[in-house]
Structure 1
Amino acid sequence: MRSDVTFNSEELRELLNLWYMNIKLKKVQAAEKLKAEVSEQLAKGEANDDVVKLALLIHSRHHILCKNHAEAEKLISQVEGFSPYLKEEHLYYLHLFKGMYLYSTKDYYNAIEEYGQVESYLGYIHDEIEKAEFFDLFASALYYLDYTNRSAIYAEKAIYIYQLYPAYEKKLTRAKILIALNYIDMGEFDLAEDYLHSALQDRNAITDDMVKISIYHNLGLLYERKRLYGAATRYLKKVLPHPDFENYLSTLYMLTSISFEEENFELAMEYYQLGMDHLNQKDDRDYYWKFKILYARYIDKGNYIKVLTEAVKYFKSKNRIFETQIYADELATLYTQEKDFERANHFYRLALGNQNNIVMFHSRR
């Protein structure tokens, strides 16, 4: 851009929109170039205050893309200082980007609080795809923290919009997978199966191997939950040749669990060792403890309660509601069988406390 060209506020707003689109598309080089152009225009002092605030917010989103979290936090705090003077559009992006910043720094609960604030400003956003992407983002965050009912609601909202725009089929497929995962957790297996097989027919599932592998993995999860182990194994084995798949540890964990359940201990230990080898390359403490629990349950039974207790302590410290509830409940049952009612009550309270957290969250706006 020529340095002697000056944009008025409306023209600069169009430039900001282009910058934001490139950020969302993760086109880092193009976004960097547009950032420089915006900075050059802002330095001329011709933009009105509303455009300047919007530019600061989009700049924070740029920093999130580039994982410059400290810089993103500074800009977000700067805009928060203008709170009494922010318009609804600014407040929408402020809560959205702050939620993204918090989520990217693993402050998941506060991220969800911010996303919850976004919805009241959606009426001021006229881009339907922007709304769908927010619903998608919120649904993903809720699913990660095991708030499955609410996650399914937002995933369905995203699907409703995406399916109206053929250019967004990739995001539609992803949203179908997400809602299917929620339905699996809710025990609505037929609905989950319908969405996964629908996703498998999408064009990008046919042309993109990793999308197809993801669907195979989740079909394996579905059938494992239904205890249809033959069908589960058939789909999970399709994932094995792809160790770069992002949920590969989960695939190995399910194959290990199924093999133990079917008392095929030799095969189970082969999958277990593959899991341990993969953990040496990609540290994941969640799956470290899940594999440890499996091993203790079937092989090292004398240490099962000890391992389970340590695992519950870990999952509780990481706010993993689902795992804490499941494993605390199992410990409570074991202590009840041993007539150690004091410890049993402690773990029952812990399990019920996590159930109550889910109910309370679902009852909130």
Structure 2
Amino acid sequence: MEHLGIADHLHNWTLSIQLDKKEAAHSIYEKLNKHIVEYDTETLAAYFLIESRYHTIVGNLQESRQSLAKAREYEEIFTELQHYKLFFAEGFIYYYEKQYQDAIATLEKAEKYMSPSMEPAEIGEFHLIKAMVYYFLDITSLSAVHAAKAVENFKTLEPLSFLLARTELVLGMNHLDMSDYETAEKHLLTALSTCKKIKNHSLLASANLNLGVLYVTRGLPATAIRYLEDALAGKQKRIELNVLFLLADSYWKTNQAGKAMQAYSEGFQKSLDRDNTKTKWEFAMLHKKYEDRDNFEIVWKEGIEYFRRVNDKYNVRTYSKELAQYYTDKKQYEHATTYYLLALI
């Protein structure tokens, strides 16, 4: 392969990885890998840094780390940009592993090698990944700051509409967490529109789900249903249980008991099939809230105890607060106090 040909392939490979186009990335990987013995040291250094990111997006995290180890063999000839790419690729692995504290620490190492001369796409991607890591660490304000920086870098790059849509989605989720519903709606609808335009079904389903969450949170279940049904139609396994739970709840709230039972039954069974104890309890507690009131108290108490055992503080707080209100309404104040205290953990 000619040097210029290799450079072009490496650029296209990077772009396909950034846009999460796994099939295109795999095709380029196979083409480049056949000629690896022909590459000089500079090309090998660049190749292994990109190869690490390729293995990460397809879920081969062990191979991803091996690629980074190979890249480090050429560290003495690294440019500043390649030092950045090394730490960014490592932070990228931690992000996929959900080791978010390690991801932040490594991304901060990468940041030391960033410069204004870098491509806007690279700068934007850095801020997007950092925004997502902060989001999962519940550091909403910093997530929003980095997401806004990502938007500034992506907004003029038409080929990177996918990354812009992801960033708008993260911004919407941040503003939803901050109860800034109007701004959240604006960002989520922008993400939805872009996803439809670029026909990215995975991201489209996520945008619909988060719009559903927004309208459920605002007490508008009838509006939420339309987006949640579209999210379910997207057939994305990673969000399916969340969608079914919110759909069942919204159907019950809008007096559509038949549809609610169908969504509940499907979600509960899939929780069992996937050995997902957390969502199994969530679906069981939802059912007792609306249908099987005779067993409401015992199932909710057992569910809260399960969430305490696994240190799921969010669900302990959420369900304890609702159960405390239930006991308050029944004037059983001793029980109410117990669960109000749990809601404060």
TM-score of the superposition, structure 2-length normalised? 0.77
> Which residue, 26, 29, 40 being the options, matches 2:27?
29
- C-alpha change, 1:56 and 1:236, in structure 2 (3 Å) is closer
For 1:146, the equivalent position in structure 2 comes to 138
Q: Retained in 2: the 8 A contact 1:256–1:272?
A: yes
Per-residue CA shift, 1:287-308, capped at 9, x if unaligned?
3342233235453322311211
- C-alpha change, 1:40 and 1:218, in structure 2 (3 Å) is same
Per-residue CA shift, 1:254-293, capped at 9, x if unaligned?
1222344567655533321121234356554543342233
Tell me how far apart the structure 1 counterparts of residues 177 and 32 of structure 2 sit (CA, whole Å).
43
Tell me how far apart the structure 2 counterparts of residues 227 and 115 of structure 1 sit (CA, whole Å).
38
Tell me how far apart the structure 1 counterparts of residues 223 and 16 of structure 2 sit (CA, whole Å).
42
Tell me how far apart the structure 2 counterparts of residues 341 and 308 of structure 1 sit (CA, whole Å).
15
> Which residue, 272, 288, 310 being the options, matches 2:264?
272
Tell me how far apart the structure 1 counterparts of residues 168 and 277 of structure 2 sit (CA, whole Å).
28
Question: Does structure 1 residue 62 correspond to structure 2 residue 60?
Answer: no
Question: Does structure 1 residue 73 correspond to structure 2 residue 71?
Answer: no
For 2:305, the equivalent position in structure 1 comes to 309
Post-superposition shift, 1:115? 2.5
- C-alpha change, 1:214 and 1:14, in structure 2 (3 Å) is closer
For 2:118, the equivalent position in structure 1 comes to 126
Q: Retained in 2: the 8 A contact 1:206–1:212?
A: no
RMSD over aligned Cα atoms = 3.8
Tell me how far apart the structure 2 counterparts of residues 81 and 311 of structure 1 sit (CA, whole Å).
46
Tell me how far apart the structure 2 counterparts of residues 158 and 183 of structure 1 sit (CA, whole Å).
16
What residue ranges of structure 2 are gaps of 5+ in the alignment?
Answer: none
Per-residue CA shift, 1:184-213, capped at 9, x if unaligned?
1210100011223333444x5156383555
Q: Retained in 2: the 8 A contact 1:22–1:31?
A: no
Q: Retained in 2: the 8 A contact 1:315–1:323?
A: no
Question: Does structure 1 residue 185 correspond to structure 2 residue 177?
Answer: yes
For 1:88, the equivalent position in structure 2 comes to 80
SS of structure 2 residue aligned to 1:146:
coil
Per-residue CA shift, 1:1-26, capped at 9, x if unaligned?
3xxx7x6xx99767654553454443
TM-score of the superposition, structure 1-length normalised? 0.74
- C-alpha change, 1:113 and 1:332, in structure 2 (3 Å) is farther
> Which residue, 199, 207, 211 being the options, matches 1:208?
199
- C-alpha change, 1:144 and 1:40, in structure 2 (3 Å) is same
Task: Within 5 Å, give how 1:1-365 maps onto structure 2.
Answer: 1=1, 16-24=10-18, 25-26=21-22, 27-42=25-40, 47=41, 52-77=44-69, 88-123=80-115, 126-202=118-194, 204-206=195-197, 208=199, 210=201, 212-244=204-236, 246-261=238-253, 267-279=259-271, 284-298=276-290, 299=292, 300-301=295-296, 302-314=298-310, 316=312, 322-323=314-315, 326-327=318-319, 337-338=333-334, 347=342, 351=345
Post-superposition shift, 1:83? 7.5
Percent identical residues: 24
Greater shift in the superposed pair: 297-306 or 19-28: 19-28
Q: What amino acid is aligned across from residue 310 of structure 1 in structure 2?
A: Y
Counting matched residue pairs gives 332
SS of structure 1 residue aligned to 2:35:
helix
Q: Retained in 1: the 8 A contact 2:88–2:110?
A: yes
Greater shift in the superposed pair: 75-84 or 61-70: 75-84
Tell me how far apart the structure 2 counterparts of residues 193 and 263 of structure 1 sit (CA, whole Å).
26
Q: Retained in 2: the 8 A contact 1:146–1:322?
A: no
Per-residue CA shift, 1:290-344, capped at 9, x if unaligned?
223323545332231121120233354xxxx644654576688889953698997
Q: Retained in 1: the 8 A contact 2:252–2:260?
A: yes
What residue ranges of structure 1 are gaps of 5+ in the alignment?
Answer: 352-365
Tell me how far apart the structure 2 counterparts of residues 183 and 133 of structure 1 sit (CA, whole Å).
20
Q: What amino acid is aligned across from residue 176 of structure 1 in structure 2?
A: E
Post-superposition shift, 1:165? 1.3
Post-superposition shift, 1:118? 2.6
Tell me how far apart the structure 1 counterparts of residues 60 and 148 of structure 2 sit (CA, whole Å).
32
